[in-house]
Amino acid sequence: MNTVSVNENPFGRKLVLACLLPILLVNIVAFMVPVLNLAAMSFRAASSTGSLEEGITVSTWLGLFGDGYYWSMVGRTVWFGILITIITLLLSYPLALFVSRREGSLKAFLVVVCISPLLISAVVRTYGWMVILGDQGVLPSLIRASGFTPPRLINNETGVIIGMVEILMPYMILSLLSGFGKLDATLEQAAGTLGARPFTVFRRVVLPLSLPGILLGCLLCFVLAVSSFITPKMLAGGRVSLLATEIYDQAIVTLNWPLAACLSVLILVVFGAALVLYGRLSKIVE
Amino acid sequence: MAKHSRRQVLVLGAAGAAGLAMPWVSRAHAQERRITVAAYSGIFEDIYKKTVIEPFMKANPSIRVNYVGFPTSAQNLGTLRAQKAAPQLDVCILDMVVAKAGANENLYKAVTPDVLPVMKQLVPTALIEGMPGPAVTFDNVAMIYSPKKFASAPTSWKELWNKAHAGRITLDAPPNAVGMGFTFVANKLAGGTDYRDYSKGIKLLGEMAPLVQSWEPKPDCYASVTSGNADLSVGYNARIQTFSRQTPDRIAASIPDEGSVFQINTINLVNNAPQQDAALEFMAYALSAQTQATFTEALPYAPTNRDAPLSPEALARTAVTPERMSKMINIDWLEVAKFRDAITEQWRRNVLTRS
């Protein structure tokens, strides 16, 4: 049978372009225009009272680059993103593997259970953590009842990490489950038949085959961890300053929109770097 | 069927059309004007609607007021910035420092006693040089305490440095305005005499830092005490007093003997507002003596109209009693705006790091 590819058929190519046009327009209007607007705002300056000054300037960018405080904030944000992603992966991986090994309606039920937290707003879930981890909360009360002095679990870095990991776990589990599609049980059986012990089977067969899912989950969680501001705002008690929370403060509290725009562009650069790394690692894995 | 002349048909047609159009004609005659007032959300919104907006609409049936509440003044200004080309807001009530930023961007139209005669009844401190609109309410920073933990109201700010309250204190750090105001209170406690040199205050705040549970209590400093998560905090007097009336056993306000600092909200007419005349009518109503008194009786913001007929009880809940006024720290907030970033920086480096 003779087949004509879309590239060879001018009508087909036009049809593809026509189909892509709506989403292209939506992207231009809803994503590109605001991003460009943001970039333009970063080249303005705010006065001490917060009012926007006329004209284009690089002074906000120079101020940002020259201030070590913001560099340490970028470093802290990336470190937090990596730490939260690793903990989320370690907690989600066994869970996702367990779910992927189940069959039929039980598997469907477990998948729903794993992703059901997404049905509740992150704000509500974070308030839940405030109730659980707060000084008078469930967990410190239990620790006290056991005769120990509870460590501070909220209004510090610990609280942020606990809250963020719980919020990101459904995303990681979904990504891992999609990656586990490549796992073939017969390969594990074959490895076992050839004398490999369970840990060797995991290390040589299961883990390498689930790497695409791991990479996807890590990218997703890292980006969400770096851009999240609600949970750090609510659980950090003002002690953990991250890029996203600083953007909120600059835009909403001190009204320094140009600085908020510069920091937003900086976050986009971090995301870009994460995407490039993901692309390279994906190629290596494949 | 009888035949009708062309004239009869035209007359009948015109009469019918006029009859059908009458409801619209009469409605157009008494055309409704709609204005949008932007101010604070939460308890301010609830009480302002009841004591100012609704009575105003009752007194002016041709004007409908749409109230838009924002959690902070900065969000109020941000919305207007986004609408600069075609404003949807008519009147903005917001903190004077934020309003000044909007004024510098020509977002508000300056009003004078000529167009707003009620301004002649305002206290002199309500007419601030360089501001487009007059002050509409005065509030002050006050101490929040849990009545369950204190037999009587703390009378000194120094209670916040009492180690017995370690881990039971919350405080909104700068750039939050309460934290900014408290910096000047701490400066005075530490012996500082000029608010522009706040280094002594920063040092003293650093000593308090280890006792603080949260520098950003959520949902806010009032709830942190009401919920029992903290025993002491710092907030705005009017809100504390109102929450105290709702749950007197959980939260109470104290304006300590060392004094406090004022917070000023101004009322501003939006430049190119869609309904400028109606907006001015609303501003006149909001600044009138009776309206100011009614609002203060319900929410203890001090009035700016000197003729506001306040009850002694309402006056006692504000910071404008002669005794308290004498202890207030005199601060030019427009001057503070010039170095507020430096204050935030000092907090980050020398206060927050010590907790």
Q: Given this model, what pLDDT does residue A2 score?
A: 53
For testing the chain B interface, which of A160, A253, A256 should be mutated: the one with the most B CBs within 10 Å?
Answer: A253
For chain A, the straight-line distance linking the first and the last C-alpha, in angstroms and rounded, comes to 32
Q: Given this model, what pLDDT does residue B352 score?
A: 92
Residues B172, B247: one domain?
yes
Q: How many residues does chain A have?
A: 286
Residue B12 resides in a domain: no
pLDDT band of residue B49 (cuts 50, 70, 90) is: very high
The closest CB to that of B337, out of A49, A136, A155, belongs to A49
Distance CA B197, CA B180 (A): 13
The residue that leads in pLDDT, A51 or B227, is B227
Strand partners, B137: B265, B303
* Chain-chain contact of B215 with A237 (C-beta, under 8 angstroms): yes
Instruction: Mean pLDDT check: name the lowest of A40-54, A159-173, B73-87, B141-155.
Output: A40-54
* Chain-chain contact of B355 with A236 (C-beta, under 8 angstroms): no
pLDDT band of residue A185 (cuts 50, 70, 90) is: confident
Please indicate if any CB of chain B lies within 8 Å of the CB of A69: yes
Look at residue A268 and tell me whether its pLDDT is greater than 80.
Answer: yes
The closest CB to that of B218, out of A69, A135, A234, belongs to A234
Q: Given this model, what pLDDT does residue B128 score?
A: 92
Residues B169, B238: one domain?
yes
Residue B147 resides in a domain: yes
**DSSP category for residue A51:** P
Mean pLDDT for A47-58 is 84
Cβ-based contacts of B100 with chain A (< 8 Å) = 49, 51
Q: Given this model, what pLDDT does residue B266 score?
A: 97
Residue B171 resides in a domain: yes
Cβ-based contacts of B75 with chain A (< 8 Å) = 252
pLDDT band of residue B1 (cuts 50, 70, 90) is: very low
**DSSP category for residue B70:** E
Report the CATH number that the domain containing residue B133 is assigned in CATH.
Answer: 3.40.190.10
The closest CB to that of B338, out of A48, A69, A236, belongs to A48
CA distance B300 to chain A (A): 25
pLDDT band of residue B224 (cuts 50, 70, 90) is: very high
Residues B199, B240: one domain?
yes
Pairing assessment for the beta strands B232-236 and B33-40 based on DSSP bridges: unpaired
Average pLDDT, chain B: 91
DSSP H/E element including A60: helix A59-65
Strand partners, B334: none
Instruction: Mean pLDDT check: name the lowest of B113-122, B151-160, B334-343.
Output: B334-343
Residues B132, B273: one domain?
yes
Instruction: Mean pLDDT check: name the lowest of A110-124, B105-119, B147-161, B336-350.
Output: B336-350
Distance CA A211, CA A202 (A): 12
The residue that leads in pLDDT, A76 or A49, is A76
Q: Which residue range(s) make up the domain with B94?
A: 33-138+263-320
Q: Which residue of B has its CA nearest to A232?
A: B216
pLDDT band of residue A255 (cuts 50, 70, 90) is: confident
Residues B213, B310: one domain?
no
* Chain-chain contact of B101 with A155 (C-beta, under 8 angstroms): no
Q: Given this model, what pLDDT does residue A264 score?
A: 96
* Chain-chain contact of B348 with A69 (C-beta, under 8 angstroms): yes
pLDDT band of residue B30 (cuts 50, 70, 90) is: low
Domains delineated in chain A? 69-285 (1.10.3720.10)
Cis peptide bond N-terminal to B87, omega within 30: no
Residues B239, B275: one domain?
no
Cβ-proximal residues to A97 (8 Å cutoff; 6+ apart), any chain: A176, A180, A206, A210
Q: Given this model, what pLDDT does residue A212 score?
A: 93
Residue B191 resides in a domain: yes
Q: Given this model, what pLDDT does residue B324 score?
A: 82
Residue B17 resides in a domain: no
Q: Given this model, what pLDDT does residue B13 score?
A: 63
Residue B23 resides in a domain: no
pLDDT band of residue A183 (cuts 50, 70, 90) is: confident
Q: Given this model, what pLDDT does residue A52 score?
A: 86
Q: Given this model, what pLDDT does residue B124 score?
A: 93
The closest CB to that of B229, out of A136, A239, A255, belongs to A136
Burial A192-221 (b: 16+ CB within 10 A, else e): eeeebeeeebbeebbeebbbbbbbbbbbbb
Mean pLDDT for A159-168 is 96
Residues B101, B171: one domain?
no
Residues B152, B231: one domain?
yes
For testing the chain A interface, which of B95, B214, B226, B353 should be mutated: the one with the most A CBs within 10 Å?
Answer: B214
Among A284, A247, A254, A282, CA closest to A268: A247
Mean pLDDT for A201-221 is 94
Look at residue A275 and tell me whether its pLDDT is greater than 80.
Answer: yes
Distance CA B2, CA A280 (A): 91
Residue with tokens 């881990």: B167
pLDDT band of residue B312 (cuts 50, 70, 90) is: very high
Residues B117, B208: one domain?
no
Pairing assessment for the beta strands B212-214 and B262-270 based on DSSP bridges: unpaired
Mean pLDDT for B70-81 is 91
Upper half-sphere CA count for residue A82 (Cβ side, 13 Å): 8
Quick check: A232 and A84 in contact, CB under 8 A? no
Residue B27 resides in a domain: no
Instruction: Mean pLDDT check: name the lowest of A75-79, B20-24, B241-245, B313-317.
Output: B20-24
Q: Given this model, what pLDDT does residue B16 score?
A: 64
Please indicate if any CB of chain A lies within 8 Å of the CB of B181: no
User: Which of B:65-94 have CB within 8 Å of A?
Assistant: 72, 74-75, 77-78, 81
A4: region left, alpha or beta (phi > 0 left; psi from -120 to 50 alpha):
beta
Cβ-based contacts of A252 with chain B (< 8 Å) = 72, 74-75, 78
The closest CB to that of A238, out of B72, B214, B228, belongs to B214
Mean pLDDT for A184-192 is 88
Q: Is the ipTM of this complex over 0.90?
A: no
Q: Given this model, what pLDDT does residue B29 score?
A: 46
pTM of the model: 0.81
Distance CA A99, CA A107 (A): 6
CA distance A266 to chain B (A): 21
pLDDT band of residue B2 (cuts 50, 70, 90) is: very low
Domain count, chain B: 2
Burial of A252 (0-12, 13-18, 19+ CB in 10 A): middle
Q: Given this model, what pLDDT does residue B14 score?
A: 61
Helix axes A122-133, A157-179, angle to 10 degrees: 130
Residue B9 resides in a domain: no
Residues B53, B157: one domain?
no
Residues B257, B267: one domain?
no
Q: How many residues does chain B have?
A: 355
Among B189, B208, B196, CA closest to B259: B189
Mean pLDDT for B49-55 is 98
pLDDT band of residue A49 (cuts 50, 70, 90) is: confident
For chain B, the straight-line distance linking the first and the last C-alpha, in angstroms and rounded, comes to 97
Q: Given this model, what pLDDT does residue B212 score?
A: 96
Distance CA B336, CA B332 (A): 6
Please indicate if any CB of chain A lies within 8 Å of the CB of B110: no
Residues B85, B132: one domain?
yes
Q: Given this model, what pLDDT does residue B11 score?
A: 63
